[in-house]
Structure 1
Amino acid sequence: MKQASQMTGVSPSALRYYEKENMLPFIQRNGNGIRVYSDVNIEWIYFIRALRETDMPIREIKKYVELYMEGDETKDERRQLLQQHEENVEKKIRSQSEYLKRIKDKLASYGEIEKNLQ
């Protein structure tokens, strides 16, 4: 778990939570009960992290995983869920970009104020 956490940047407690909530399918354990993370598991962790970092709610991630576990017949529903999230992320990026522009404009005005004071 420590190695998976270091690789992915996801805390061990978050990994345990994701597993407990059935968001990380296919986690195997060795004979001593220690989690063994495969390349597939690591990819799932990166994917879940991407969804969380872009503010997808846990309930939607769980829904995606549930659909995934149901098989290929849910591909369209999974695609729709991800497309809606993509739209939400793009909208947020646009608004964040606008906010950043306002902040930069304000910072630039401080430079002008200082220049006028000299």
Structure 2
Amino acid sequence: MTSLSIAEAAEQTGLTAHTLRYYERDGLLLHSVERASSGHRRYTADDLRWIEMVTRLRSTGMPIRDVRRYAALVRAGAGNEAERLALLLAHREVVERQLSEVGSHLRAIDYKIALYENKVSPEG
């Protein structure tokens, strides 16, 4: 893959062109996206991999400020791995708590489903 237009990158990532521009403008990407001679953005495989990571972090509820901080640390290069690790470990704890809570909600829903299935089944 050489590079993709913003429309192609949007299709590949499942994001809108607006979101891709926002990610770049708000400092969530590792660098400014390359531009063609026409001035149009051209996304590389590395750009798409990073966008996927940003999307995962956002999808799991990481605040924009933390994503921005993580991107800044990665951009800064070697020497701050302990900070990156701490940021990701803290976020992992939040995600684990959310998963536990959702699991509890799912068990409650399953309980109610079982009650209704018993009521509407022919044997009930």
TM-score w.r.t. the length of structure 2 is 0.89
Cα displacement string for residues 44-65 of structure 1 (whole angstroms, at most 9, x for unaligned residues): 1100110011011101000101
Hey, what's the Cα distance between the residues in 1 that align with 2:27 and 2:84?
17
Alignment coverage as a number of residue pairs: 118
Cα distance in 2 for partners of 1:9, 1:111 equals 37
Q: CA deviation at 1:117?
A: 9.2
Aligned-pair CA distance for 1:114: 2.7
Q: Which residue of 1 aligns with 2:7?
A: 2
Richer in helix (by share): 1
Partner Cα separation in structure 2 for residue 25 and residue 51 of structure 1? 15
Classify the secondary structure of the residue corresponding to 1:73.
Answer: coil
Q: Which residue of 2 aligns with 1:38?
A: 44
Matched, 1:15 2:20: yes
Specify the SS of the correspondent of 2:107. helix
Structure with the greater relative contact order (CA < 8 A, sep ≥ 6): 1 or 2? 2
Q: CA deviation at 1:30?
A: 1.1
Across the aligned residues of Structure 1 and Structure 2, the Cα RMSD in angstroms comes to 1.5
Q: SS where residue 69 of structure 2 aligns?
A: helix
- Identical counterparts, % of pairs: 32
Question: Which consecutive residues of structure 1, in runs of 5 or more, have no partner in the other structure?
Answer: none
Listed as ranges, the gaps of 5+ residues in structure 2 are 1-5
Alpha-carbon distance in structure 1 between the residues aligned to 2:121 and 2:79 = 65
2:74 matched to 1:88? no
1:99 — aligned with what?
A: 105
